[in-house]
Amino acid sequence: MTAFDQATAIWPAGEGRYEVMPDDRFAIAGAVNGGVLLASMLRAVLDSSPHPDPIATSAHFLRAPRPEPAQVEVAWLKHGKVTATARATLIQDGRPVLESTVTTGALSEPADAGGLSWTGEPPRLPPIEECHGIEDAAGPRPFSGFAKQVDVRLDPATSGWARGEPAGTPEMRGYFQLREDRDPDAYLLALAVDSMPPVVFGLAVVGWSPTVELTWYMRARPAPGVLRIATRSRLVSGGWFDEEAEVWDSAGRLVAQSRQMALVGRGSASRGGDPPNPPIAASRRGVT
């Protein structure tokens, strides 16, 4: 069993309640990565769902999740033939930490539903050997936490910020996989959609960029292998920025989409090209 599967395990406690254990192997500075928490919550939702796939998950991040015991409460709002919708709340010390709503359904093969199919262009990436690991940007600290679990390799065209040469555009492209051998599924996609460095790093704003809201859609069950991810922002303004991500599988299919609203690096933000320290993707969740 991988660290990721251990970190996202659930223990049923009856009446729609589950015990979970936010795992400090996915935490930095005391806050556990939100994607890992969402994966735990999806396990709880799918445990009692009449449909197999988490089609649409929306999540509002309320408080910093700590690596301590927590509970997930699942309440079903609708059980339909095509879709079902549940509210799932992550609770620590009696307070909601992460509020999500999940609509489940079945991802048919494209040949179903009359065969109507249309798809946009996948991201273009150089070979993985030419891409840069995010751990390279972590500076002199011991290689630990999120970057020890997740292998993200950035297209050099979007990793200039780590070398003090930000590209000047809010976008990232790269490869994603766990360092342990594990095929992607719905739970890993929940992690993947928010695994890249914040797009504002491309504008030389390196620091704490807490996510306020994130919604992601699962579009297909991913093929085994490395995932490709492209993110971009459309507007950075007034201290807020949006970030959207597309995740493509090894078979060349768009398997997940996300969009989040986040706050531009606060407190520790630097406007220089300094590499972030500690490693980045796990430092995105926090109290606002």
Please give the residue ranges that form the binding site for a copy of itself (CB under 8 A): 55-56, 58, 60, 62-63, 77-78, 80-83, 85, 87, 96, 99, 101, 103, 105, 107-110, 112-114, 116-120, 169-170, 200, 203, 205, 212-213, 215, 217, 219-220, 233-240, 242, 244, 246, 254, 257, 259, 261, 263-264, 269, 271, 287-288
DSSP state, residue 284: -
- Residue placing its CB nearer to a copy of itself in the complex, 1 or 116: 116
DSSP state, residue 180: S
d(CA 133, CA 148): 11
Residue 19 token pair: 């015990």
CB of 247 to a copy of itself, least distance (A): 11
CA distances in angstroms from 206 to 59, 185, 259, 276, listed in the order given: 24, 30, 20, 6
**In this structure, are residues 19 and 73 in contact, taking their beta carbons and an 8 Å threshold?**
no
**In this structure, are residues 179 and 149 in contact, taking their beta carbons and an 8 Å threshold?**
yes
- Residue placing its CB nearer to a copy of itself in the complex, 6 or 119: 119
Give the distance between the most distant pair of CA atoms in the chain: 55
- Residue placing its CB nearer to a copy of itself in the complex, 59 or 178: 59
CB of 100 to a copy of itself, least distance (A): 8
CB of 19 to a copy of itself, least distance (A): 21
CB of 263 to a copy of itself, least distance (A): 7
DSSP state, residue 197: P
- Residue placing its CB nearer to a copy of itself in the complex, 85 or 149: 85
- Residue placing its CB nearer to a copy of itself in the complex, 79 or 182: 79
Provide CB contacts within 8 A for 69, sequence distance 6+. 19, 20, 21, 92
DSSP state, residue 107: -
CB of 141 to a copy of itself, least distance (A): 26
Tokens 């939702």 locate to 45
- Residue placing its CB nearer to a copy of itself in the complex, 80 or 126: 80
CA distances in angstroms from 212 to 59, 64, 245, listed in the order given: 8, 11, 16
d(CA 66, CA 82): 36
Tokens 């709340």 locate to 89
CB of 79 to a copy of itself, least distance (A): 10
- Residue placing its CB nearer to a copy of itself in the complex, 3 or 254: 254
